[in-house]
């Protein structure tokens, strides 16, 4: 009887032990499976984060390169324009200033304007504005050489707002024709700019 009881106890113990071991193995297998899933998910998330960072870095690099390229292009263009302006100012500016400061040339220009003024053909009275700085040198010339036109309604005035050259306008206003140094420089610069650009930059 004692043996049977021992056998039964051993059997129950062994079955319980086997069952517990089986459950432990099952739990361990589940834990390993879950751990593998967690590791795989962590690796996938890490790879996704790295890929997102790489893509964002590439986009930033592309944007920066584009911005640098655009800025350098604008800087080169601005520098070229500045060089062109300097050359135009040195070549055209000095020549225009010298020509318009020549009293004889100005006198011939004014005689030409006066010669074209024909009030008998319905032209409105004209006013020619000259630089204040040329008043002393031109006033006598105008009275001597263009006296008849002055009597017909053409007038000559002087203004501080003109450095060189002159402006022609009808006396009633509305518009004027600009023959000042600045307008001559701008006009000649427009013709000179393409040639200058070609010589400098090909």
> Domain count of the chain?
1
Going by their DSSP bridges, the two strands 155-159 and 165-170 should be labelled as unpaired
pLDDT tens, position by position, 102-132: 777 777 877 777 777 666 666 677 788 888 8
User: Is residue 35 in some structural domain?
Assistant: no
User: Is residue 171 in some structural domain?
Assistant: yes
User: Is residue 44 in some structural domain?
Assistant: no
CA 12/CA 10 separation, integer angstroms: 5
Query: Quick one: what percent of the chain has pLDDT higher than 90?
Result: 0
pLDDT tens, position by position, 132-141: 888 877 777 7
**Residue 174, pLDDT above cutoff 60:** yes
Give the DSSP letter of residue 134: G
Task: Quote the domain boundaries for residue 104.
Answer: 97-201
User: Is residue 48 in some structural domain?
Assistant: no
User: Is residue 133 in some structural domain?
Assistant: yes
- The answer to whether 111 and 146 are in contact (CB under 8 A) is yes
């Amino acid at each position: 009887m004692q043996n049977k009881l021992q056998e039964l106890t051993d059997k129950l113990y062994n079955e319980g032990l086997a069952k517990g071991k089986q459950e432990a193995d099952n739990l361990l297998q589940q834990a390993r499976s879950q751990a593998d899933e967690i590791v795989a998910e962590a690796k996938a998330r890490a790879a996704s984060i790295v890929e997102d960072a790489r893509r964002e870095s590439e986009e930033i690099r592309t944007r920066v390169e584009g911005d640098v390229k655009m800025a350098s292009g604008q800087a080169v263009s601005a520098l070229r324009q500045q060089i062109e302006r300097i050359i135009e100012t040195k070549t055209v500016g000095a020549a225009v200033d010298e020509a318009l400061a020549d009293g004889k040339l100005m006198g011939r220009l004014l005689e030409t304007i006066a010669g074209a003024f024909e009030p008998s053909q319905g032209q409105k009275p004209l006013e020619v504005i000259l630089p204040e700085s040329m008043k002393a040198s031109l006033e006598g010339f105008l009275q001597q050489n263009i006296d008849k036109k002055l009597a017909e309604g053409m007038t000559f005035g002087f203004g501080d707002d003109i450095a060189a050259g002159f402006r022609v306008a009808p006396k009633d206003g509305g518009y004027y024709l600009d023959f000042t140094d600045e307008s001559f420089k701008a006009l000649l610069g427009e013709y000179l700019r393409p040639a200058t650009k070609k010589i400098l930059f090909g």
